[in-house]
Structure 1
């Protein structure tokens, strides 16, 4: 049996992840953990999902609960609980209040599901990945942040739409912070197998505008509809599916670094990593231009400062 538990299951992202995973029919049970005051809402979500899943004869078990015992035996535990961004807020503004939540749930996971893999989606995700790692005491390869996976998918989509080409022909990646200091790896981007620097010679492409659109993607969606929803949910579900099916795909997720990339250590950042049923199988080396290296190190410094502030504030 494959079992996935979700903290923050009644939130916009949590419930969408649960439904997306259930529809894929690769998970036997999804535990939707809620606070006692939100348990009825979690139950209502499961009733609604069951109605939808019945049309496809999907038998995934949905378990609404506020009892931590129910997460026992989980293969993956997702933490998406936390305060969400309002218009005008940055992800880093959420650091201290959300660290309290992630710290608490990570300790419960360590007690009730010690053999699981922790996937962190709560923002600021790079900081929260380190909080979850320290609080759980897990091996660093078993604590993963959603990182730049969604950013990479967005960039791929932007290139695809800009030049009207199938997305499968676009190979690109974003690393570093999931936030203002994200680093698009344009030096290794290819379209149709052609390096981007050669491709733009023949196509009218405003790369600068495209990158600005990428950095503002979350803010733009939040300003127009109040929250991001489908993109994060599908990106998170994609990571979970890759883990539980043991397909060893290279995804750009947040990992705690000990010098594997540009000598950066003591901080979690988005980097390419091979994901497996055991968590991170290997952190993939990156070739970056000088500008990309400087930007990556700047991102590390920003996240390190915020992580240090969180640790000192909460004494964790």
Structure 2
């Protein structure tokens, strides 16, 4: 019996993850946790989701609550609570206020569901992954940030649409920070099994696609106010892969201790084997000189922000 708890379930991401995950029919129970003042709203969300599931004959228990006792026995606890990013706002601008929320919730998870996996979606996600890790006291393989999983899916989609080819034929990955210092691994990208540097297609402007990728979040927020479907599906996909013990390699934020390019004491997006126990293995990855420098720069930026946040929280 798989059980997933969502902390911050009335937010745009939280409620969409609940709906998307329930539709995947891989989880038996989803606990939708909210603050007491939002309990009626989260109850309304569950009623609405139940109506949708009825059309698909899906039986998934939805538990609206503001009681931490309800998260006991969770396989995965998603922390999706936090203030929202406004148009033009950098993810790093959210660091200190959101860190206070993540710190509080990570401690509660450690108290009420000590055997669970913590999955962090709150931005800036790489910084928040370290805050959740140190606040919970969990093993680092059980504290995971959504990281560059969404970025990797976006880049895959951009290439697919640009060259008019099925997305399953595109193999690409984005590492580093989930933000301005993301690093697309173009040196190992392939389309139809052909390395990108040998793939010739009219008007394929890779640099423009990378810029589109880096601005994707702000572009969507400026036009509709929030990102919801993309992040929700990426997070639900990640949860489903872990619940089903798929051992797929996904790009998630992990606390590094030298596994990739010797980077230490910071959480960054890297390829990792996901399993029902969390991260089974952090996968070493080859980068060219340009990518390696960008990855090291990302590590420095995220580490600096993380240190400032930890100092503000007295961690």
TM, length-normalised to structure 1? 0.99
Partner residue, 1:96:
96
Q: Which runs of 5+ in 1 are unaligned?
A: none
Partner residue, 1:211:
210
Report the Cα offset of residue 216 of structure 1: 0.1
Once the two structures are superposed, the pairs formed by residues 96-115 of structure 1 within 5 Å of their partners are 96-115=96-115
Once the two structures are superposed, the pairs formed by residues 184-223 of structure 1 within 5 Å of their partners are 184-200=184-200, 202-223=201-222
Once structures 1 and 2 are overlaid, which stretch shifts more, 303-312 or 53-62?
A: 53-62
SS, match of residue 262 in structure 1: coil
Distance 1:301 1:110 in 2: 29
Once the two structures are superposed, the pairs formed by residues 294-305 of structure 1 within 5 Å of their partners are 294-305=293-304
Partner residue, 2:244:
245
Report the Cα offset of residue 203 of structure 1: 3.5
RMSD over equivalenced CA pairs, Å: 0.6
Distance 1:57 1:189 in 2: 40
Partner residue, 1:235:
234
Distance 2:11 2:203 in 1: 41
SS, match of residue 56 in structure 1: coil
Report the Cα offset of residue 193 of structure 1: 0.4
Distance 1:21 1:209 in 2: 33
Distance 1:27 1:166 in 2: 29
Distance 1:159 1:50 in 2: 36
Distance 1:193 1:102 in 2: 41
Report the Cα offset of residue 25 of structure 1: 1.0
Partner residue, 1:55:
55
Once the two structures are superposed, the pairs formed by residues 149-164 of structure 1 within 5 Å of their partners are 149-164=149-164
Distance 2:28 2:186 in 1: 40
Distance 1:38 1:250 in 2: 36
Distance 1:55 1:163 in 2: 36
Q: Please give the per-residue CA displacement for 1:77-129, whole angstroms capped at 9, x wherever unaligned.
A: 00000001001100000000000000000000000000000000000000000
Report the Cα offset of residue 204 of structure 1: 2.6
Report the Cα offset of residue 58 of structure 1: 1.1
Once the two structures are superposed, the pairs formed by residues 161-180 of structure 1 within 5 Å of their partners are 161-180=161-180
The 4+ residue runs of structure 1 with deviation greater than 6 A are none
TM, length-normalised to structure 2? 0.99
